[in-house]
Amino acid sequence: MAGIYIHIPFCKEACFYCNFHFSTSMKLKYPVINAIVYELRLRHYKWKRYKYETVYFGGGTPSILSADNIQRILYELNLYYDISPDAEITLEANPDDLSSKKLREFKKAGINRLSIGIQSFSDMFLSFLNRSHTARQAHNVIKRAYDNGFENINIDLIYGIPRLTNEMWMETIQKTLEYKVPHISAYALTIEERTALNTYIKKGYVPKPSEEQAAEQFEIIRNELMKNDYLHYEISNFGKQGYLSKHNISYWKRIPYLGLGPSAHSFDGKQRRWNIANNYTYGKKVAKRKQYYEWENLSKENVYNEMIMTGLRTMWGVNMSDVERLGKKYIKYLQKTTKKYIEQNILFIENNHLKANPDKWFLIEGVIRDLFSVS
């Protein structure tokens, strides 16, 4: 089992908080698409041995492309790779891209899951985030997606936005519940380097997000969604039974995945590899079969740290047997460093899996860093 990730590095607008690789210019659209197709052919020799259960178009904003562009990539993937007939095929999308016509075309092209970047149902906060859509478009797109045959839908929401009160956040959650979407991803607004938001905060144009406010709003959405039968299976992800994101689960469970496109990452269990984050250079080097990526062979310490980093973010936790297989020093180190957190009821062991108490998930990043092995 494995997954495929395709990075589409184009957006209409630059969201103030985003530090993913993208361009607001579409001039290189066709060279990049051609390079993605060429890359998937080049890498076939190593990756053809897997059965692929998921394909994920991320970005950037993949919905900015036409359905023909998406269909071309999927056609080539099916030629060169063993894609399961019932594979989960996700497209990240913005509400303003999804007309009824385009939704029908995406579905015909093979997309069977949508991840829609709603972020907020408020024009005030959408403007603050520099999103390209309006609140009205956010409301309309969900019903439109259902009407055009999509059942497996995720929507993204952001909390911890300056001036977003708990009451406003509760209203957002209640509106979301009314639409009965089967999957919700909720992210705290974070300040990333090299973003417009970081610059505005440093200059005093906007207030810095409050960690206390974000922690309260995390608890609010967690409680409300769990009351409505959503499974909280990863810090930021909630899903109804049968609608958990198979592709994202493959990341957290360290299942191999092939990454295609500029800035895309790949993982085969022993090595991580990442493509250059420059559209022009990526396309040029792929076309000339020059090296367009960097890589890292994973040491046992790398593997241990990744197990901790990914496992403790999920309801499945870290398999202690897997840690033990790395060597006695790693299991002993883990037992030693987790002792105080187990005593504080932040961590616990269940069926030989180390897990984080879900009530403490918002604080788990600091705990994870404390458990890392550093030579």
Query: Which DSSP string do the residues of 175-188 spell out, in sequence order?
Result: HHHHTT-SEEEEEE
Q: Strands 2-8, 51-59: parallel, antiparallel or unpaired by DSSP? A: parallel
Establish if 309 belongs to a structural domain.
yes
Examine residue 313 and state whether it is found in any structural domain, yes or no: yes
Q: Judge whether 273 lies within some domain.
A: no
**Is 140 in the same domain as 215?**
yes
Same domain, 221 and 319: no
Distance between CA 232 and CA 315 in Å, rounded? 8
CATH number at residue 37: 3.20.20.70
Residue from 216, 242, 248, 245 nearest 229 by CA: 242
Q: Are residues 234 and 315 in the same domain?
A: no
Residue spans of alpha helices (H) in 231-317: 246-252, 279-287, 300-311
* pLDDT tens digits, 156-178: 999 999 999 999 999 999 999 99
Residue 276 maps to a domain: no
58 and 184 in one domain? yes
| Whole-number average pLDDT of the chain | 92
User: Residue 21: pLDDT above 80?
Assistant: no
Per-residue pLDDT of 339-372, as tens digits, reads 999 999 999 999 999 999 988 888 899 999 999 9
pLDDT for residue 147 is more than 70: yes
User: Which residue in the block uniquely carries the two structure tokens 């269990």?
Assistant: 269
Q: Domain count of the chain?
A: 2
Assign residue 203 a region: left if phi > 0, alpha if psi is -120 to 50, beta otherwise?
alpha
The answer to whether residues 150 and 235 belong to one domain is yes
The answer to whether 1 and 257 are in contact (CB under 8 A) is no
Query: Is the same domain home to 176 and 55?
Result: yes
- Residues 232 and 365 placed together within one structural domain of the fold: no
Domain boundary among 252, 282, 314: 252
* Domain ranges, residue 352: 300-371
